[in-house]
Structure 1
Amino acid sequence: MKAIVLREFGGPEQLRYEEVPDPTPGRGEVVVRLKAAALNRRDYFITINQYPGIRLPAIPGSDGAGIVAAVGEGVDNVAVGSEVVINPTLNWGDNPRVQGPDFQILGVPTDGTYAQLVKVPAENVYPKPEYLTWEEAAALPLAALTAYRALITRGRLQPGETVFIPGIGGGVATFLLQIAVAAGARVFVSSRSDEKIERALQLGATGGVNVNSEKWVKELQARMEGQADLCVDSVGGDTFSQLIRITKPGGRIVTFGATRGPVPNLVMPLIFLKQLDILGSTMGNAEEFEQMLSFFQKHEIRPVIDRSFPLEQASEAVKRMQAGDQFGKILLEIPE
């Protein structure tokens, strides 16, 4: 089969389009012939050796959708020819609240979806939502699951609450917006791009601010007519310190990433005097993946697709993601 292989570190330029052996399913496993795959930020960090548990050579990619091509012994939940979407959470463990010590994400160290075929446990494939295209289905798994857990499970979002999502434009942030709007929240966003803020408004955001303004926090609070019940953050850095001010007393902040690095000069009294809940979140368990799919189908939410690249152009796709120019998910078209 054709696949994208990383054999040495050094950035997206090291991703090679190669011929590799087809995977064979073992007991309890299936092989899926992929129709489309999607990118996540972890794919870039893997290319520069800034992710735990990397073993080379490796085939990256956590997200994908396709048709079951082969099943191993003991598989009875899915048959050859089934149209499926893949849950990239591997070995979550028995505690739904937190992942166990064997937890992994599909795509390094386990070979992933930047390929024509991928082998996964049979329990990790779910029926593809019929209303979605192959590209839309492939865009869902990691980012939509992360957003769903952060908002619904950890964030305990309620209808009518005010939600703030900094850094709108990436895959997870866009899903956060769509889920929160569908759940009946008032959603506000921020970006350094007026164009991205405008697109967020078209998706149902109530308002947004450009963080290039020195007074963006005051502008945001004025548009909110107060403070946020819930902030969901993947930015970290200086932005996180501002979230402490933006969140109302007794409110919640959920963090699942830190693209701008460590948080400097955090004013601790603002956390404990305001009785804030600071909550960490990572990916999600199998039950949450199923709940996420049901939520998307109930509300007929369609993922926002930024751009699709042929599989052999995976390097260029990852570079676009890293540049931060996208709005929504970046896809890879898998050849027949």
Structure 2
Amino acid sequence: MRAAVLTEFGGPEVLQLREVARPLPQPGWVDVRLTCAALNWHDVLVRRGQYASPLPHVPGADGAGIRVDTGEEVMILPSLHWGRRENAPAADWQILGDHQHGTYAEFVSVPEDCLVPKPPGLSWHEAAALPLVGVTVFRALFSRGRLQAGEHLLVLGAGGGVATMAVSLAAAIGAHVSVTSSSEEKIARAVSAGADDGVLYSDPAWPEEARKLTPDARGFDLVLDSVGTWAESLRALRLGGRLVTLGASRSDVATIAVRPFYFAQHEIIGTSMGSPQDFAGLLSLLDRTAAAPPPVDRVFPLDAASEAHAHLESGTAIGKVVLDIV
């Protein structure tokens, strides 16, 4: 089968189209003939060697296609071996494309419980782009963050897949959503997608400017931080507010003052990916509300996976980057 393969770690250019063997059969696993795959920042970290993937390796967590044994149209939940507990994954949990060959290929093999019927209302591109960012954001906002209608949410980094999905889901349940961004254009796009307003994070005082967007400038009930700026995010919270953290794209070390943290009764809540139950909750929310799937920014052919990665890393994408496999 054709696949975009890593034989070494590095920049986008290390992704090369190769012929590789199809996945070997495993009990309880199912082959999927992929139609599309979607990129995530996590794939960039895999390509750079962050997760010590075995080489040669096929990256890719997100995908949608045809289940080989039944012919059913399916989406892939890339959360492998979650386990029985909902509060945290099992010890052998992993993300598809870390150590198991992923979705940048014509075929992928996954555990049967990671397959979900493709909703008829989604295009193939949307179905491929939804699972990782959708289940991650659903878990972050609702399972972990406990976001309720009427609460005020601040989403850091408007424009990325996490931010656009968070705006859509939070607005759909009646939360008030603000965003941060490096550009007025991205803020305007977030507003058109359901956000109320936003601030530029290029201003060092952005947490205080963001607080002014809440009633009486008291601060946000919840801040969704996928970039790792904990100290600034805590400044934007109200007393008793919650910080949900799910990424470290800007900083992987955080230093915070302890006394202000506990006097303010703040919470810092970690989360990553999500369970099959979270994914079921996401699909139910999409079905009963006007929440939209993640927007698709650009589509590349499989043999241009390196160009797709370069585009993702450029920071200009608004929404998801997708690979056409067939």
**The two structures share one fold, judged by TM-score above 0.5:** yes
Partner Cα distance (1:265, 1:24) in 2: 46
The Cα of 1:284 is off from its aligned counterpart by 0.8
Q: Which one-letter code corresponds to 1:22 in the other structure?
A: R
From 88, 99, 102, give the equivalent of 2:89: 99
Q: Secondary structure at the match of 1:209?
A: strand
Report whether the alignment pairs 1:3 with 2:6: no
**Structure 1 stretches of 4+ moved >3 Å:** 262-265
User: 1:235 is matched with which residue?
Assistant: 227
Q: Secondary structure at the match of 1:223?
A: coil
Partner Cα distance (1:214, 1:155) in 2: 26
Question: Which has the higher mean CA deviation after the structures are superposed, 257-266 or 85-94?
Answer: 257-266
Conserved in 1, the CA contact under 8 Å of 2:208 and 2:235? no
Q: Which one-letter code corresponds to 2:35 in the other structure?
A: K
User: 2:325 is matched with which residue?
Assistant: 334
From 296, 299, 304, give the equivalent of 1:305: 296
Q: Which one-letter code corresponds to 1:54 in the other structure?
A: S
Partner Cα distance (1:263, 1:45) in 2: 17
User: 2:137 is matched with which residue?
Assistant: 147
1:113-262 equivalences under 5 Å are: 113-225=103-215, 226=217, 227-236=219-228, 239-262=229-252
1:244-276 CA distance string (max 9 Å, x none): 111011111100111111345422222101001
Conserved in 2, the CA contact under 8 Å of 1:245 and 1:270? no
Q: Which one-letter code corresponds to 1:42 in the other structure?
A: H
Same amino acid, percent of matched pairs: 45
Conserved in 1, the CA contact under 8 Å of 2:36 and 2:64? yes
Q: Which one-letter code corresponds to 2:45 in the other structure?
A: F
Give the structure-2-normalised TM-score: 0.96
User: 1:321 is matched with which residue?
Assistant: 312
Conserved in 2, the CA contact under 8 Å of 1:24 and 1:31? no
User: 1:73 is matched with which residue?
Assistant: none
Partner Cα distance (2:207, 2:223) in 1: 13
Q: Which one-letter code corresponds to 2:310 in the other structure?
A: K
Distance 1:126-1:274 versus aligned 2 partners, 3 A rule? same
Name structure 1 gaps, 5 residues minimum.
71-79
Give the structure-1-normalised TM-score: 0.93
Partner Cα distance (2:267, 2:204) in 1: 27
Q: Secondary structure at the match of 1:307?
A: strand
Q: Secondary structure at the match of 2:136?
A: helix
The Cα of 1:323 is off from its aligned counterpart by 2.0
Report whether the alignment pairs 1:40 with 2:40: yes
Q: Secondary structure at the match of 1:145?
A: helix
User: 2:54 is matched with which residue?
Assistant: 55
The Cα of 1:194 is off from its aligned counterpart by 1.1
CA RMSD of aligned residues (A): 1.3
1:56-71 equivalences under 5 Å are: 56-70=55-69
Matched residue count: 323
Partner Cα distance (2:303, 2:252) in 1: 35
Name structure 2 gaps, 5 residues minimum.
none
1:288-315 CA distance string (max 9 Å, x none): 1111122122225232111111111111
Q: Which one-letter code corresponds to 1:99 in the other structure?
A: P
Q: Secondary structure at the match of 2:244?
A: strand
Partner Cα distance (1:33, 1:161) in 2: 42
